[in-house]
Amino acid sequence: MSRECTGGSTVSVIGRTMINENDAETYMKRYEYFDRDDMFPENIRTMEIKEWQDFARKNPYLAKFFNKKLPGYFLLALETWNSEVSYDICNPLTENIFSDVISHWRNMVLQDDEKSKIARSLLNSVGTALGSAPGD
């Protein structure tokens, strides 16, 4: 799937083809606490079933994160996001799940939760994922 980008170049809408699903766990392992399903927020805004297919197609790693609850998928969604696309077709930053997760982890840090060290590390990994190209 590709779309026209500002300036006329065709770019991949999402980098999911750049990280094969079989290799996803390998790439997630570079992030500390990638497999901590206990870091998934209890209160997350959900969507209607009819919206789910469109969401999962546009943001496959966010959808996997929602289903499997492993932070590594959340980080891969950010790492594979192609921000060169000039519209919101696959922007994970505009999805409710993104703000719910960031708020949850941030609140754990601010409240000095028993898992605040893990939350702080995951928030640092968000920056790492955004600063990476798929599969770096």
Structural domain boundaries in the chain: 2-130
Distance of CA 65 to the CA centre of its chain: 7
b or e along 16-34 (b: 16 or more beta carbons within 10 Å of the residue's beta carbon)? Answer: beebeeeebeebbeebebb
Give the span between the Cα atoms of 104 and 47, in whole angstroms.
19
Q: What residue has token string 């799940």?
A: 97
Percent helix, percent strand, percent coil in the chain, to nearest 5: 55, 5, 40
Q: Dihedrals φ, ψ of 63, to 5°?
A: -65, -40
Does residue 4 sit in helix, strand or coil?
strand
pLDDT confidence of residue 133:
78
Q: State the pTM of this model.
A: 0.81
Q: What residue has token string 């770019």?
A: 11
Give the closest residue to 56 by CA, choosing from 9, 87, 16: 16
pLDDT digits over 81-122, tens only? 877 765 556 678 888 888 999 999 999 999 999 999 999 999
Q: Is the pLDDT of residue 12 over 50?
A: no
51-56: long-range pairs with CB below 8 Å, 24+: 55/95
pLDDT digits over 48-87, tens only? 767 777 788 778 888 889 889 999 999 998 988 877 765 5
